[in-house]
């Protein structure tokens, strides 16, 4: 018996844009600023650091808040391994900061480790890759992600997002 609740894989034609290093933040912030309908995100780590206001990480957070204020629906799932784990504490700070601005946030603990890094914007664009939302992903780690232009993929990944969102 197949107990996989996620959508079955399928071949999807799309346009793909590789984003290495800081280019990920540049393109994601631009896409968030252009969003008109909705933004969905799943993040293993989102490190909110108000002391680094001008870093690309904080600029991304500011872009999310701007989107929320212009009535773009924003929903974020953050990894919640356990209350004692540092990653959960880091994500709780970020989740609380986003929630104070009206963003829908769920801290989620799954049976397996929630390690996804996914953005879905306006049911058209997906960002998928290795970038956590943290200074390390910008300044220390070698990271690569892709921006994918495909309404079919966005719909497919939204099913994945919704399965996780509704699993609470």
Enter the DSSP assignment of 167. T
pLDDT digit string, tens, across residues 77-103: 999 987 778 889 999 999 999 999 999
Other beta carbons within 10 angstroms of residue 121's beta carbon come to 23
What the chain holds in terms of domains, given with CATH numbers, is 15-165 (3.30.870.10)
How much is the pTM? 0.92
Instruction: Look up residue 113 and give its two tokens.
Output: 């480790």
**What DSSP line would sit under 70-108, residue for residue?**
TT-EEEEEEE---TTSHHHHHHHHHHHHHHHTT-EEEEE
Residues 123-166: tens digit of each pLDDT: 999 999 999 888 777 777 788 999 999 999 999 999 999 999 99
% of the chain at pLDDT higher than 90 = 63
Q: Residue 81: exposed, middle, or buried by beta-carbon count in 10 A (0-12, 13-18, 19+)? A: middle
Cα gap 117→55, rounded to integer Å: 19
List, for residues 102-130, the tens digit of each pLDDT value.
999 999 887 777 889 999 999 999 999 99
User: According to the model, what pLDDT value does residue 103 have?
Assistant: 96
């Amino acid at each position: 018996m197949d107990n996989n609740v996620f959508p079955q894989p399928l071949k999807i034609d799309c346009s793909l844009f590789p984003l290495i290093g800081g280019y990920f933040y540049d393109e994601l912030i631009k896409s968030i600023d252009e969003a008109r309908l909705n933004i969905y995100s799943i993040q293993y780590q989102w490190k909110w650091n108000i002391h680094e206001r001008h870093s690309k990480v904080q600029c991304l957070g500011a872009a999310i808040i701007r989107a929320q204020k212009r009535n773009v629906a924003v929903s974020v799932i953050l990894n919640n391994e356990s209350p004692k784990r540092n990653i959960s504490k880091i994500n709780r700070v970020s989740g609380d900061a986003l929630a104070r601005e009206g963003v829908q946030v769920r801290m989620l603990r799954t049976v397996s480790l929630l390690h996804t890094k996914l953005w879905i914007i306006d049911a058209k664009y997906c960002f998928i890759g290795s970038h956590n939302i943290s200074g390390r992903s910008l300044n220390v780690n070698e990271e690569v992600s892709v921006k994918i232009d495909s309404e079919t993929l966005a719909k497919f990944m939204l099913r994945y997002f919704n399965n996780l969102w509704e699993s609470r």
